A and B are shown apart, each in its own frame.
Chain A
Amino acid sequence: MMTRRALLKTGALAVFSTTLGGLPTFIPRAALAATNNKSPKNKVLVAIFQRGAMDGLMAVQPQNDANLTKLRSGLIIPSTSAGKEGLLNLDDRFGLHPGASALHKLYQSKELCVVHGIGSPDNTRSHFDAQDYMETGTPGRKGTGSGWLNRAIGALGHEPTPFQSVSLTTALPRSMYGECPSLAVGNLDEFKVQAGSAGNQSLESLYRDLGDDKKSKKDQSQVGQLLKKRGSDAFDATKIVSTSEFRNYRPANGADYPKTNLGRSLRQIAQLIKSGVGLEIAFTEQGGWDTHVGQGTIQGNFSRQLKELSDSIAAFWTDLGDGYQDQVMLMTMTEFGRTVHQNGSNGTDHGRGSCMFVLGHGLKGGQVFGKVPELALENLEDKRDLPVTTDFRSLFCDVANHHLGVPSGKMSQLFPGWNGNQLGVFARA
């Protein structure tokens, strides 16, 4: 296993000492944190967006609700009976889809909790609008320029580093739009300057030395300074991910990531965490949740999706191991849920409430939060959907406050115009 210190010694530091004669500006703080036990380590929040709207009622199904059986007879996961696969018991009321057996273990060890009936107060059933609202953190307001994760970084007010806010997606997600520099890279293996060895060096010195030459006064300009800073970051950051330690990374503790984009993204997030490069917010996503057709039950589309998610998260958690889990919290989110009744193609259509998973230490783990009424027609939103009983912001701000350490006073910055209560998923809160 590559420890943070090992990388700093043999990897990144070695590169810097031989080629640059200096440390990148963001390393000392991280290195200091690694050597000084008193200084608290960075907290890291990992967000996974399940695009397409996950059917929360299939992921975490109310047990023994006759209404549900009536409305979606073809989409019911049976209870576990002798020798037969079925719902994994969460509590008296709910069972977890067996595809998520890896998450079930984390639930049993009280590291994972579920929030059910969660969603947006805005009742749009458009993917675009609902994702927009969830990512900006301002339901009903389209004009919000920035994303809530970016504002969270801003509210923390830490010195920026190139890896402080990273999205493992090609394009920057809406959640990370905003003032604070965020890095979007689909795959860190491809994060390289490809100008050739001498070319890279030429460019590196060009960017690094901008404004240092007294003759070129102009590069004292803001643009010059920005290019100098981000250029230096770019060369530092690409060097870190091209060290042999980074490239030949072997997940710790026998962690086995699914060989999918999501699996790779989470593995690379784990690598960044362990490298001590100042990661605070990581984002990635999983598409394919828009199950209008042939959703399946124990097997099938939905099950495959959920298994990939669950196995990826569990591998990530195993990989982090005792050394890093305390620092990290992982949260899933999805734009809305799906209709309680099944449609004509053995699938479900766009609905309202869904569920989210939260993983980390210090949580009231092993619990299902939120209110899910008995699924009688009159209890449903518009007589069709699981009603939203928990505003997603009450979970997001809970996590931002208690995990990341964004002060309560800055919550209005994160979620302007909202003053609801935090959900209370933390044990020490």
Chain B
Amino acid sequence: MLMRNKPLKLVAKFSLVVVPLCGTLFSNALADPVRVPQMPYKSLGLSRSQAAAHLLSRFSYGATPGQVEQVAARGPEVWFVEQLNAGKDNATEVALKQLPVEGLSLRDIASTYLPQNVLDRQAAQQGVIDASQVKGKNGPEVNRKVREFADAKGLHLERELVQQTVEQKLYRSVHTVNQLQEVMTEFWQNHFYVSLAKPQCRAFVYAYERDAIRPAALGRFRQILENSATHPAMLYYLDNAQSVSNPPEMNNKMVVQGKKKRGLNENFARELLELHTLGVDGGYSQKDVVEVARALTGWTAVPGRGAGMRMQAQIDQAQSKGQLNNRLVQRGDFVFLPNQHDPRPKKILGRNFPGLDGPNGYQEGEQVLDMLAEHPSTAQHIARKLAIRFVDDHPDPALINKLAQQFRRSHGDTKAMLIALVESPEFWKTRSSKVKSPLEYYASMMRALGGQVDLAQLENQGRARVLGKWFEKMGQQLYHYQAPTGFPDRAEQWINSGTLVSRINFAFALCGSQIPGLVLPQQQLQSVSKDLQSSAQYLMPGRDIEATVAQVSASSSKPEFFQSLKKNQDMAVDHEKFSSNQRNLALILSSPEFQKR
């Protein structure tokens, strides 16, 4: 990386300009008053409890015991408005403090949680191990030395961070009272996707969701777009951090790092247009991709770990000496480097950009984001994705148009879009037409059963790995999807013969309390699951349960024998201690009806 080698020279040579930026950019969206939506469920023949069940199945991770009746009694509209006005969730915040990463800044996270080879290298630098042992497959003796070194320095392995990134989601989806905010956090994270699968951005994914996505998840599109585009996770995931103006535009001042030549990198620009804003048929050309990439040259991050801290130290030093004199665009971990920016004129989607020099070059990128956020293709693209997420895999074009209009009218206000959704008849006509993703399946089961995620137990000796393995088998290794598209949101993605078998087995393992970290109120459940009928009513209130109950009872009078996997095999369900009540619950949860939302 350029900054790793000669950060001060960089700063001094081009005497960058620190431009104070508007303070509201990272704050939450403008607080528009939320109006009470007019939900047409009654005229469409739904009872209040059916309406409540449907609403909860789509805009939360599932109903908790008694919640459908509660929401029906108070009015589905009241619940929805409460969710749109999500406040602080103190109980969840307190519980999440059990995760060591919670509360650490992005830079602290990145310099505390290190990949094995980085940790080895640091240990070697301190003479704890030999330099030849760095990056190798080392024996227990070397590993022990490195571990002791890490403990002494307060350092951790990056895979612990990966684990915590997953754990907070497993916790929040089940327990947060701000269910809609969490659902929208998942939606936007999946839209502006960054992946733990890519080592270069792995350390930033946790902070990305926490800082860039969740606080803005019910806010304006333009805000989330900017939060994402300027976050180190995205800058590294799609390589914009490395994108620098090509040599000709730099008047042949080639930017060279070691032996590697650097130049324009189109990755982020392309996905910005194709995935984040306009959509693949949104009316842009390859030329536009290149021009957007040029406009965004210089958008990079002060990375975590050593190089970034050295760079920051030098920036701070220069600033304290008055050498920078308002000449650097920096906001948190984002930094704009004018000397890497292409100052030449550009033409993007038919509009001319004169080209801005020095720190003003940053404004060009902002203008591009403005333009993209207001573009009709973006409205259409986001409307379509919302309709697919909340209504149907194949939404009615009329609904998409309605949502797109609302997007444009409200300038991409998420709340306005969500209100438009629940006011549309299409939403109420498509009950049970979506399949739950594995995360939704997991969380809805836990919520229906009144289960508790025990973070301390998950954190203990890496026991979260068992749960992680289940998710992998169900086809959703959380935060690890490799493509920048995010997980595809359609039934076929989640349901195949392999994932379905894993779902059924997961339900059984869960009901038998056989998954470390997931605690069920077994006594209470025993009293509500005396027979299939009562189990089904308890777990699927407001849903059609007759067929399920009838079918299961018909064939369940037969004698039961179990053919489990060997106990040492992965994901084996131990049936020995299984009660008939637990079995009733598991059968309902693994039924086709419960796979739908």
Return the contact of B547 from the options A143, A172, A213 (Cβ within 8 A). A213
Are B592 and A197 in contact, with the CB atoms below 8 A? no
Q: A195-B587, A197-B561, A294-B137 are in contact. List 19 more A-B contacts (CB 8 A).
A: A142-B238, A142-B271, A174-B482, A181-B497, A183-B497, A189-B569, A192-B501, A193-B504, A196-B583, A197-B562, A197-B563, A203-B504, A203-B590, A216-B544, A219-B592, A226-B495, A230-B500, A293-B133, A294-B132
CB proximity of A237 to chain B, nearest CB, Å: 5
- Is the C-beta of B141 less than 8 angstroms from some C-beta in chain A? no
Q: Are B547 and A216 in contact (CB under 8 A)?
A: yes
* Interface: A416 (CB within 8 A): no
- 5 closest residue pairs by CB, A with B: A293-B136, A234-B497, A233-B497, A194-B573, A162-B497
List, in ascending order, chain B residues with CB within 8 A of A179's CB: 492
B residues whose Cβ falls under 8 Å from a Cβ of A:
131-137, 197-200, 238, 259, 267, 270-271, 274-275, 393-394, 432-435, 469, 472-473, 475, 477, 480, 482-485, 488, 491-492, 495-498, 500-501, 504-505, 508, 544, 546-548, 551-552, 554-565, 569-573, 575, 578, 583, 586-587, 590-592, 595-596
Contacts of A136 in B (CB 8 A): 483
A215 within 8 A of B: yes
Q: Is the CB of B504 within 8 A of A195?
A: yes
Q: A161 to nearest B CB, angstroms? A: 10
Provide the bound-state CA to CA distance between A143 and B583, in Å: 44
B590 to chain A, nearest CB (A): 6
Summed over the interface, the residue pairs from A and B with CB atoms below 8 Å come to a total of 214
- The reply to whether A194 and B565 form a contact with Cβ atoms under 8 Å apart is yes
Are B559 and A198 touching (Cβ within 8 A)?
yes
Query: Who on chain B is nearest to A201 by CB?
Result: B555
| Cross-chain pairs A/B with CB under 8 angstroms, 10 sampled | A142-B484, A143-B270, A144-B483, A191-B501, A192-B505, A192-B563, A194-B562, A197-B560, A227-B495, A231-B500
Say whether, besides A194-B573, A197-B561, A198-B556, A218 and B136 are in contact (CB < 8 Å): no
B72 nearest CB across to chain A (Å): 21
Q: A170-B472, A194-B572 are in contact. Are A292 and B135 (CB under 8 A)?
A: yes
- Min CB distance B561 to A, Å, is 5
B565 close to A172 (CB less than 8 A) = no
Residue numbers in A under 8 Å from B560 (CB-CB): 196-199
Asked whether B595 lies within 8 Å of A184 as measured between CB atoms, the reply is no
Q: Is the CB of A185 within 8 A of B570?
A: no
User: Which residues of chain A are near B432, meaning CB under 8 Å?
Assistant: 218, 221, 223
CB neighbours of B558 from chain A (8 A): 197-198, 201
Query: Does any Cβ of B come within 8 Å of A182's Cβ?
Result: yes
User: Contact at B135–A345, with CB atoms within 8 Å?
Assistant: yes
State whether B508 touches A382 (Cβ < 8 A).
no
Total interface residues on A, CB under 8 Å, equals 74
Contact B551 A170 (CB under 8 A): no
Q: Please state if B472 and A234 are interface contacts (CB–CB under 8 Å).
A: no
Q: B498 and A185: CB pair below 8 A?
A: yes
Q: Which residues of B lie under 8 Å from residue A256 when comparing CB positions?
A: none
Chain A's nearest CB lies how many Å from the CB of B133?
Answer: 8
User: Beyond A128-B198, A194-B505, A195-B508, is A184–B552 a contact (Cβ under 8 Å)?
Assistant: no
CA distance A203 to B572 in the complex (A): 18
* A residues less than 8 Å from B570 (CB atoms): 186-187, 190
Min CB distance, B139 to chain A, in Å? Answer: 12
- The answer for the CA separation of A234 and B504 in the assembled complex, in Å, is 11
CB of A202 closer than 8 Å to a CB of B: yes
Q: Does A66 contact B (CB under 8 A)?
A: no
Contacts of A219 in B (CB 8 A): 547, 592
- Contact digits for A124-155, partner B, Cβ 8 Å, 1 yes 0 no: 00111000100010000111110000000000
Name the residue on A nearest B591 (C-beta).
A206
Interchain CB contact under 8 A, A143 and B497: no
Which B-chain residue is minimally distant from A213 (CB atoms)?
A: B547
The yes or no answer to A177 lying at the interface (CB within 8 A) is yes
Most buried by A among B259, B557, B586, B592: B592
Partner of A193, one of B133, B473, B505: B505
CA distance A237 to B498 in the complex (A): 9
Q: Say yes or no: B274 contacts A195, CB within 8 Å.
A: no
A191 engages B498 (CB within 8 Å): yes
